[in-house]
A = this chain, B = another copy of it.
Amino acid sequence: MEEVAVPLEAPCGVHPTPGGSVKLSAIGEFGLIDRIRKGGLAVAPGVLVGIGDDAAILEPSPGNLLVATTDLLIEGVHFRTEFASPYAIGRKAMAVNVSDIAAMGGIPRHALIALAIPQEVPVEFIEDFYRGLREEGARDQIAIVGGDTSSSPSGLALFLALLGEVERDRYLTRGGAKAGDNIWVTGRLGASAAWLAALEAGFRVAGEGSGVITGPGIERLAAEEREALVEAIQAHLFPTPRVKEGRALTMAGVVSAMIDISDGLASDLGHILTESGVSAKVYRERLPLHPATAVVGRLLGQDPWVYAIQGGEDYELLFTSPNGPWTVEGTLAAEGLTLPILIGEVVEGKEGGFLIDSFGGSKPLTGGYQHFQIGCQMPEAGC
């Protein structure tokens, strides 16, 4: 089995627990909080009281509305420590919350972090996790302003609440789509789910600095296929929330409804349709499949469309617009951002979304990740 070197942004798949690891029991809860405080931002805009009091005191921007979201990351459901380093888990924990703020058209500002930590987890794990949180937040100048820590009798549980702001009358919900609107997505789909499927099938990326990919059949891949796989690993571990795109679209006033793709295109478009009381046609040939979906599909003998339609964790923005393509594309082009992709249209009705194939055939656009549900389409995602 050949190994393929990957120029990863950060080492993953390895636990950074060097020789002199410090146990939580040696420093206690308050020692841990001290360490977390020391790693924090010296100057954080709008923070009057940060970590270390009963609550944070924050200064909202005059006239703006508050945007508030929260996401859970549970070990064994949302992440596995054998699949991602604590640094990568921290990066992603922040990114998925930032993505929710972006989906409302908001600016992320302040984060609260709560952690339930098993006794045996070394302090370095927590510090690397916080480093990931901070580095991911730094792009948007997000300050960690508070939180809570607890021991955990079983696995790790991570909770983020992220606060942001948005101009009055500018925020976007899932509820504004109208028949005749176009449906857009900000980037390619399925890469994250494809790499997760590969991980589940025994593929791994390992090594410090520049990692290596191992897995059955990896040696038969062409150079560009390996490139695609490397991009998929990045998409899975370090998704880039579309804050700039969300802001540009919001301020231009060209969007009628918006959501970020976390549960999968089918499921998340379904939320827009339900909240807006409309249906949709999505054209299969217009769907921007990430090339890694085909690579992994072939390696595993799976349907690559499942990754793109039902996979989830793309963290692209999915939005509807009454404006023409030139206006929508121009809005992002003017900011030097990647052009969005037109994938379909909103239509009258309550039947939900339909996927239209090249021959005009139509079938319901369903599936996607849903917790607690039996019989979901992606058991490898942990249903």
Contacts and interface: CB of A to CB of B under 8 A. Distances in A.
Interface of A: 24-25, 27-30, 32, 48-49, 52-60, 62, 65-72, 74-78, 99-101, 103-104, 106, 110, 112-117, 119, 145-155, 157, 159, 161-164, 166, 171, 173-175, 259-260, 275, 370-374, 382-383
B53 A68 contact: no
Contacts of A30: 370
A374 B24 CA distance: 9
Contacts of A62: 62
Contacts of A164: 55
A153 B154 CA distance: 9
Contacts of A70: 112-114, 146-148, 159, 161
B57 A150 contact: no
A275 B51 CA distance: 12
Contacts of A101: 54-55
Contacts of A110: 68
Contacts of A119: 372
B25 A77 contact: no
A146 B69 contact: yes
A275 B163 CA distance: 26
A367 to B, nearest CB: 12
A257 to B, nearest CB: 10
26 contacts: A25-B374, A30-B370, A32-B372, A49-B104, A54-B69, A55-B68, A55-B100, A55-B106, A56-B66, A57-B171, A59-B65, A60-B60, A60-B65, A60-B66, A68-B146, A70-B113, A70-B146, A70-B161, A71-B114, A72-B116, A72-B157, A74-B152, A74-B153, A77-B153, A149-B372, A151-B372
A92 to B, nearest CB: 14
Contacts of A153: 74-77, 154-155
A122 to B, nearest CB: 12
Identify which of A28, A49, A146, A159 gathers the most chain B CB atoms within 10 Å of its CB: A159
Contacts of A163: 66, 68, 163
Contact of A77 (B152, B175, B275): B152
Contacts of A52: 174, 275
Nearest to A174: B53
A85 B366 CA distance: 37
A41 to B, nearest CB: 16
A273 B157 CA distance: 31
